[in-house]
Amino acid sequence: MCGIFAYLNYQVPKTRRFVLQTLINALKRLEYRGYDSAGIAFETAAKASSSIGTVKQRGKVQALSDVVFEKKDIDFDETLETHVGIAHTRWATHGVPNEVNSHPQRSDPSNEFVVIHNGIITNYKDLKLFLETKGFLFESETDTEVIPKLAKYLYDELEGEKLSFRELVERIIEQLEGAYALVFMSTHFPGQAVASRRGSPLLVGVKSSKHVVTDHIPVAYTSDKGHPIAPDKAFASPGPLLLQRTDSTLNISIEDTQELEVEYFFASDASAVIEHTSRVIYLEDDDVAAVSGGRSYCVYFRV
């Protein structure tokens, strides 16, 4: 089973070396799950990040670590006030173990959207055929690659609606069938991360020097109707309506302050975050958890 980890530090200064080492260390804690390749993605600018770098490697996490820290084009001593990084260990299900098939998977050569994924998208062939008719070129054999490319397609197609990152992800998961745990990052939404799950485990850990005022992150609900793509652009059937649950099952919120300092950890297993924090929430099916401006909120999304 694939391993997922993401780290977001908001107004908590960390060197790039610390951030990258945090990602690598988390993957090492997830090695017991079994895997054949590993990779990371990270923002490559300290302020108003507008680019994303990736490093992927077949084999053990240590091999990935060696490649990362031997790179000459990374400023490891740069201090990052706010930054997002994601990391993944892959167990091949679609495509052979190699760097191209490893995660994170990307939307395009500019890495406008990158995604890590655990699970299997059962309608990926239909999505791939649709996206190919829109001019998208696929480079991997994975089912996952349709997700970041779908993100770019919808972002470009719905640009006039000025969707938030969380709203965009809601539109994406409407089109997905199968099981998934996902974490997204994007050059269009620097300093933000969005995660969702259905049928695959995913948790969020929170660490803050500020007072944690409740044990819950605000939970909201989308409308029952969702946001279907126009009939001439439809390419996936809607998923099942899942049972509702109470608002009290989720959430950690931080004291409202202009000087918010907080770190967020997304992971497929608590072993990856235990060294950082004991405050975690387990997402439930069709949750969409978003971090923006250092504040987190979770939406129970009805598809």
Q: What torsion do the CA atoms of 58, 193, 170, 198 make, to the nearest 10 degrees?
A: 50
Whether residue 2 lies in the annotated active site: yes
| Burial label, 159 (beta-carbon count in 10 A; 0-12, 13-18, 19+) | exposed
Q: Give the count of beta carbons closer than 10 Å to the beta carbon of residue 132.
A: 12
Which residue of the set 2, 64, 272, 289 is catalytic? Answer: 2
What's the token pair of residue 193?
Answer: 């991360």
3-state secondary structure of 105: strand
Could you give the CA distance from residue 272 to residue 132 in angstroms, rounded to a whole number? 37
Cis peptide leading into residue 231 (ω within 30°): no
Q: Which residue has the tokens 């990158």?
A: 114
Task: Give the residue from 136, 129, 128, 130 showing the smallest Cα distance to 108.
Answer: 136
Catalytic residue numbers, as ranges: 2
